[in-house]
Amino acid sequence: MISIVNGTSTLYFIAYNKDLLNEAINFYTNILGLTLHSTLDKENITYLTNDDNQLVVKLELNSKNSLNKDQIKEKKSYIKSKLNIIDWRSLDSSAVIKVDNLVNLIDNLSSFNYSLQITPNELYPNEVYTIDPLGNIIGFTACKEPLTLIPPLQKSYNKNQGLATTTVMSQSTSEISNNADLKGKHRRNIGVMTSGGDAPGMNAAVRAVVRAAIFRGCKAYAIKEGYEGLVKGGSNFIKQMKWQDVRGFLSEGGTNIGTARCMEFKQREGRLKACKNLIDAGIDGLIVCGGDGSLTGADLFRSEWPSLIKELKDSKQINEETYEKFKNLYICGMVGSIDNDMATTDSTIGCYSALDRICRAIDYIDATANSHSRAFIVEVMGRHCGWLGLMAGIATSADYILIPEKPSSSKDWQDQMCNIVDKHRKRGKRKTIVIVSEGAITSDLKPISSKMVRDVLVDRLGLDTRITTLGHVQRGGTAVAFDRILATLQGVEAVKAVLELTPNIPSPLIAIDENKIVRKPLVEAVKITKSVAEAIEEKDFDKAMSLRDPEFKEHLSNFMAMNSACHEHPKLPQEKRKKIAIINIGAPAGGMNSAVYAMATYCMSQGHTPYSIHNGFSGLARHESVKSINWIDIECWNSVGGSEIGTNRSTPEQTDIGMIAHYFEKYQFDGLIIVGGFEAFVSLNQLEQSRSMYPAFRIPMVLIPATISNNVPGTDYSLGSDTCLNSLMEYCDIIKQSASATRGRAFVIEVQGGNSGYIATFASLISGAQASYVPEEGIHLEQLELDINSLRESFAIEQGMTKAGKLIIKSTNASKVLSPQVLADIIDEESNYEFDTKTAIPGHVQQGGLPSPIDRTRADRFAIKAVQFIEDNIDKIDKYRYQLDFPQDKKEIINTAAVLGVKSSHLRFTSIRQLYDFETELGRRMPKKVFWNSIRDTADLLVGRTRITSNEVM
């Protein structure tokens, strides 16, 4: 049924000439299916009606009271310029027509390239407005009372002016929203496929691609079973994906769209079939998530595309029009591989999930190994890359690792392994862990099997030795938090990259550099990756190592240094050996013990004397709690949560800074490493500021950020934040499962974080929460109203579906008044109890149990960097140690007290003076600028949330 919403039955429009009149007739007959009942009568009027005459469109030909073609063009241009800036209804009077199927109408309008303003958004449309050929704004709705619906535009909130319509949205949101009017090459149909071995996080990548593509005005397609589905084609293998089709993908392992090896695609005939299948499906953009083989095939496919499509045209399988439309294919790659063997990217989707499985298994094995004083050989995956073996060795403090990048002769590896294991045993270690990559080889390319390693330990050392082959357990299970984040952000970036590609731009690979998503040339990355395997085959192991990422070489060097702490002669001469202390300040965070372990073992390997200060500055001032660190006492600390040396929040000035200086002088510390959160940041500032009064503090000092709140200025990452997100992820998955089982239920989950919205933002991203509230934005009632209406719509759409549970994440300090229970009560009341709302508060569960592999390995890396910082800076300040006129403001001196952090794609030291004086908001205990605002946009995008943005959000 078609009718006019305001109750009238007739729409009256005027056309300047017959050409415009005919265009208007075509518009209303084609779009609304109206019937032309008469041509121009004696009054120059034409009538169009629907079947039951509830809608009459009256068109008059009159050049005096109407706009001509140029005026209409100018008016249309002006209206289009205001798309997603202001509500079109404020520009001109408009009629609203009720239709039965609004979604089909939107598709119809889109196919004719009409500009559309859709409310509240494209995902849940209630109204759509367009411009007819006569320049009139015409609205369509499926509802009886459209004026009561949520307005479509994002809003800004200014504390001084109240709620107002925004004129400028964030860049990412405006880019996405403006694509509702995309035409031609930019409004692409995007296919996504997973290929090669499955990896945890692939489902998160598919979800991100599908929803980001839909949100950008594109159609999304899933190509099932990898390249096999591409070759076979048809609706069974190439399926258009809707928004709801990827519900629940975040928490599922493997790949729901399947993956398979395909020999046929390796032949040109197979790629010709794939070309035809993509054209038949209307796909001109392809995103491939797989390993180097899969991405090599993707780039070959794009390079051959011009000749393939020409062959289809020449053989009359496609016509000239189709050829012109699809003559270019745009491809983007994402790396899904547990081996982390792709060059030019720090991490691949799935690698940290696999590492987590390995570390958990070894943590479990440790207990039985220690109980029986056994040796365990743990075989991990990695045919051509030893990343898993190396990182597992670091994270679990393994005695020895065997990886393909650093082989030695059969005799050398046996002698070296037995020498290390024997010395560890003689120092009191009861267990032995040796990690063997499946691709481990000798220098003459002979494989080293787990059985060979076991035989050596049994025959030469007489150890009770067992073998554990983890196998495909490493691939299984849901993705860890990092892989969900990585896959999601890369999926969104891949869609953006495909839309921005031109025929002259090489296919990009979406990579991560330190903490930043970047684009790298796909061909170059694959070429370097293959060169590593080729160098190993040629026995050029130095070249193979040089082709690995710098971080890989750094981790290997760190492992060797830490592993030599108790059995090798120190590297430094006696006069260069120093006394270095480490202290934990603030709340416990995953990775604190790993930092102490790495600092101490690296110091021992260099010849320095490591000291631990127990129970923070108050423990030092009150109890002189300083102890030198013994290797055997800390040998298992790398995989222990909490803080074994104790921690508290007291700063030096809150305790007794004079007494602290006294003990620093008594023990003659040459350097200090502080591990902790914002209290540690303040402590470093106090110590640096006190250098003029206390010569004991005239030493290099460095802060390693460690706090689940991730609110330390100078870094985008703090130790403990990954462990926290993993704990929250598991908690939210369980809560969401409960909500899904009880149909029509939402949970309000309150998370920690102080004044930092980091935890709430990323927890929302990895759990697929419907909304998140952070201290930086607060909770505005207008936003709460929008979110409640969104929840109602979501539950209505998903009625009867599985996996329909909803989460709302609230940071503790987002609102002191709106507690989780108050929020739940408001939502219940405002939703008319159409669904029920419960609360869940994880509390200190967020600090986690065992630290995650990321926090372990980064703690080791940071701690060793911190010791090297002290080594590099000791001479710069030591010469001023007892000068009466201490040059505190000298830049060389200022830089000896610094924060070690990850900033974007760089690992850097930043002086405490720069950070404290210019980059910190002390009252809120926060950096002035935070990096996660764009992450909030992405999290909202992927659940279809309309967010009121604040002009005052930093």
- Any idea which residues carry the catalytic annotation? 339
Determine whether the annotation assigns residue 827 to a binding site.
Answer: no
Among residues 926, 866, 876, 861, the alpha carbon closest in space to that of 899 is found at 866
Asked whether the CA dihedral 645, 649, 651, 656 is positive or negative, the reply is negative
Determine whether the annotation assigns residue 115 to a binding site.
Answer: no
Determine whether the annotation assigns residue 193 to a binding site.
Answer: no
Determine whether the annotation assigns residue 471 to a binding site.
Answer: no
Determine whether the annotation assigns residue 709 to a binding site.
Answer: yes
Determine whether the annotation assigns residue 754 to a binding site.
Answer: yes
Report d(CA 374, CA 360) in Å as an integer. 18
Determine whether the annotation assigns residue 906 to a binding site.
Answer: no
Determine whether the annotation assigns residue 218 to a binding site.
Answer: no
Determine whether the annotation assigns residue 474 to a binding site.
Answer: yes
Determine whether the annotation assigns residue 291 to a binding site.
Answer: yes
Determine whether the annotation assigns residue 790 to a binding site.
Answer: no
Determine whether the annotation assigns residue 490 to a binding site.
Answer: no
Determine whether the annotation assigns residue 302 to a binding site.
Answer: no
Please count the other Cβ atoms lying within 10 Å of the Cβ belonging to residue 560.
Answer: 13
Determine whether the annotation assigns residue 381 to a binding site.
Answer: yes
Determine whether the annotation assigns residue 925 to a binding site.
Answer: yes
Residue 488, SS3?
helix
Among residues 558, 534, 565, the alpha carbon closest in space to that of 404 is found at 534
Please count the other Cβ atoms lying within 10 Å of the Cβ belonging to residue 81.
Answer: 8
Report d(CA 214, CA 302) in Å as an integer. 23
Determine whether the annotation assigns residue 37 to a binding site.
Answer: no
Amino acid residing at 68: N
Q: Strands 920-921 and 285-290, how do they pair? A: unpaired
Determine whether the annotation assigns residue 936 to a binding site.
Answer: no
DSSP code string of 264-309 = GGGSHHHHHHHHHHHHHHT--EEEEEE-HHHHHHHHHHHHHHHHHH
Determine whether the annotation assigns residue 416 to a binding site.
Answer: no
Cβ neighbourhood burial of 316 (10 Å; 0-12, 13-18, 19+): exposed
Determine whether the annotation assigns residue 546 to a binding site.
Answer: no
Q: Give one word for 445, left, alpha or beta, with left for phi > 0 and alpha for psi -120 to 50.
A: left
Determine whether the annotation assigns residue 434 to a binding site.
Answer: no
Contact criterion met (CB below 8 Å) for 509 and 497: no
Determine whether the annotation assigns residue 711 to a binding site.
Answer: yes
Among residues 171, 135, 654, 196, the alpha carbon closest in space to that of 383 is found at 196
Contact criterion met (CB below 8 Å) for 213 and 219: yes
Determine whether the annotation assigns residue 902 to a binding site.
Answer: no
* Contacts of residue 419, Cβ cutoff 8 Å, sequence gap at least 6: 567
Determine whether the annotation assigns residue 251 to a binding site.
Answer: no
287-302 core/surface letters (b: 16 or more CB in 10 A; e: else): bbbbbbbbbbbbbebb
Determine whether the annotation assigns residue 177 to a binding site.
Answer: no
Contact criterion met (CB below 8 Å) for 396 and 363: yes
Determine whether the annotation assigns residue 752 to a binding site.
Answer: yes
Among residues 239, 59, 261, 175, the alpha carbon closest in space to that of 938 is found at 175
Q: How far is CA 283 from the centre of its chain?
A: 26
Please confirm whether the linkage preceding 120 is cis (ω < 30° from 0): yes
Among residues 898, 912, 900, 904, the alpha carbon closest in space to that of 932 is found at 904
* Contacts of residue 167, Cβ cutoff 8 Å, sequence gap at least 6: 85, 86
- Residue 258: both structure tokens together: 């399947």
Contact criterion met (CB below 8 Å) for 732 and 939: no
Determine whether the annotation assigns residue 294 to a binding site.
Answer: yes
796-824 core/surface letters (b: 16 or more CB in 10 A; e: else): eebeeeebbbbbbbbbbbbbeebbbeebb
- Residue located via tokens 């949330």: 945
DSSP summary character for residue 249:
G
Amino acid residing at 184: G
Determine whether the annotation assigns residue 627 to a binding site.
Answer: no
Determine whether the annotation assigns residue 845 to a binding site.
Answer: yes
773-776, long-range: CB < 8 A, 24+ apart: 773/808, 773/809, 773/810, 773/811, 773/814, 773/815, 774/811, 774/814, 774/936, 775/811, 775/813, 775/814, 775/924, 776/930, 776/950, 776/953, 776/954
Amino acid residing at 157: Y
Determine whether the annotation assigns residue 473 to a binding site.
Answer: yes
Through-space distance between the first and last CA atoms of the chain, rounded to whole angstroms: 49
Determine whether the annotation assigns residue 944 to a binding site.
Answer: no
Determine whether the annotation assigns residue 710 to a binding site.
Answer: yes
Determine whether the annotation assigns residue 262 to a binding site.
Answer: yes
Q: H helices within 820-922, ranges in order?
A: 820-830, 853-878, 891-894, 912-918
**Residues flagged as binding site for Mg(2+):** 292
**Residues flagged as binding site:** 197, 261-262, 291-294, 337-339, 374, 381-383, 438, 466, 472-475, 649, 707-711, 745, 752-754, 838, 844-847, 925
**Residues flagged as binding site for ATP:** 197, 261-262, 291-294
**Residues flagged as binding site for beta-D-fructose 2,6-bisphosphate:** 649, 707-711, 745, 752-754, 838, 844-847, 925
**Residues flagged as binding site for substrate:** 337-339, 374, 381-383, 438, 466, 472-475
